[in-house]
Amino acid sequence: MQTRVIAEMENISPKYLESILVQLRKSGILGSKKGKGGGYYLLKPASETKMTQVMRILEGPIALVSCVSLKYYEHCDDCPDEASCSVHKLMIQVRDNTLAIFNNTHLSDLV
């Protein structure tokens, strides 16, 4: 699909949409074709693309804080002991529930 068509259908700024589509193309979710009749296309079926992958590409880590991130972990300087930190435990639950939703949602579910 052409960027202009998607932007009109979804009421999104074409410039903003283009930046998203370029990120998804660089990451291997989308392919693109230039010229007349060109545009963007999915490289695999929408039913095989989990939202976890898309969200990490567009937004970065799924976890709200880095001390519970599975892919971008960083020790929290504010917390001397993660094992006894009640906020850490809560944020693990938030991460796990968010991951469950994203892992069970595919692009095809959003159409």
Question: What would the mean pLDDT of 44-72 be, rounded to a whole number?
Answer: 93
Q: What is the pLDDT of residue 17?
A: 94
Distance CA 77, CA 94 (A): 20
State yes or no: pLDDT of 47 exceeds 90.
yes
86: exposed, middle or buried (Cβ count in 10 Å: 0-12, 13-18, 19+):
exposed
Range of the domain at 28: 1-43
Look over the chain and give the mean of its residue pLDDT values, rounded to a whole number: 92
105 and 65 together in one domain:
yes
Alpha-carbon dihedral sign for residues 63, 65, 68, 69: positive
> Which one has a higher pLDDT value, 54 or 76?
54
Residue 56's nearest CA partner among 30, 32, 24, 88 is: 24
Question: What would the mean pLDDT of 95-107 be, rounded to a whole number?
Answer: 96
57 and 98 together in one domain:
yes
36 and 53 together in one domain:
no
21 and 51 together in one domain:
no
Question: What would the mean pLDDT of 67-81 be, rounded to a whole number?
Answer: 87
95 and 78 together in one domain:
yes
